[in-house]
């Protein structure tokens, strides 16, 4: 039991001190600097256009850094993305086919979380390829271009598995706005 507690304590400090500082220093203004208003409007329009072609829902969340309590608990970028998936209600779609693209700027990490309706149909390698491509764009400083490409790729996946049909209602179940934290 004591060994387990020690392991949890050590896991907390996996991030180097410079990364802790980056998390605590960055805030929503830094997210806005990476994606100014004009870029946000273009990305929102891309999400809206994508969703017109399929029955899925797509959300994008750009988070500057984790809070001190999350850092202290050792929350990973994947765990935070799954938490945001729930907070943004991406799971709450009729066909269980919502997708969240989550960028954690302080860790320079991209996570894609797909609801069970889509994740059961798409192999993990496809999601990994998408995150790798987005990561390369981010490394070049092309945040908007990378997100545009990711929106297009996720849109194609959703269109191939959940295409919109003329005789079927296609309500917009979730907001299209990009979330900056």
93-108 pLDDT, tens digit per residue, is 999 999 999 999 888 8
Q: Is residue 94 assigned to a domain?
A: yes
| 71 and 114 Cβ atoms separated by less than 8 Å | no
**CATH number where 108 lies:** 3.10.310.50
Distance (Å, rounded) from C-alpha 155 to C-alpha 99?
Answer: 10
Residue 133 lies in a domain: yes
* Range(s) of the domain holding residue 109: 35-163+172-180
Residue 33 to residue 143: CA distance in whole angstroms = 11
12-33 pLDDT, tens digit per residue, is 556 677 777 788 788 888 888 8
Residue 19 lies in a domain: no
Q: Is residue 75 part of a domain?
A: yes
Q: Tokens in use for 43? A: 């990305």
Contact 102, 80 (CB under 8 A): yes
Q: How many domains does the chain have?
A: 1
User: What percent of the chain clears pLDDT 70, i.e. is strictly above it?
Assistant: 92
User: Does residue 153 sit within a domain?
Assistant: yes
Please give the model's pTM, rounded to 2 decimal places.
0.88
- Give domain status of residue 17, yes or no: no
Taking residues 53-73, what's their average pLDDT?
Answer: 93
Assess if residue 30 is contained within a domain.
Answer: no
Radius of gyration of the chain (CA): 17
């Amino acid at each position: 039991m004591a060994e387990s507690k020690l392991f949890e304590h050590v896991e907390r400090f996996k991030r180097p001190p410079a990364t802790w500082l980056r998390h605590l220093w960055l805030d929503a203004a830094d997210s806005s600097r990476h994606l100014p208003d004009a870029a946000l409007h273009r990305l929102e329009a891309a999400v809206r256009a994508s969703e017109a072609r399929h029955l899925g829902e797509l959300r994008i969340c750009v988070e500057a850094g984790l809070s001190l309590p999350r850092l202290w608990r050792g929350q990973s970028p994947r765990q935070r993305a799954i938490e945001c998936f729930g907070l943004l209600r991406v799971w709450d779609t009729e066909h269980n086919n919502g997708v969240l693209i989550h960028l954690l700027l302080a860790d320079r990490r991209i996570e894609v979380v797909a609801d069970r309706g889509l994740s059961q149909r798409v192999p993990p390698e496809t999601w990994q390829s998408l995150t790798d491509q987005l990561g390369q764009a981010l490394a070049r400083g092309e945040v908007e271009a990378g997100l545009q490409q990711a929106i297009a790729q996720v849109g194609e996946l959703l269109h191939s598995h959940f295409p919109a049909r003329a005789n079927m209602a296609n309500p917009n179940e979730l907001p299209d706005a990009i979330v900056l934290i």
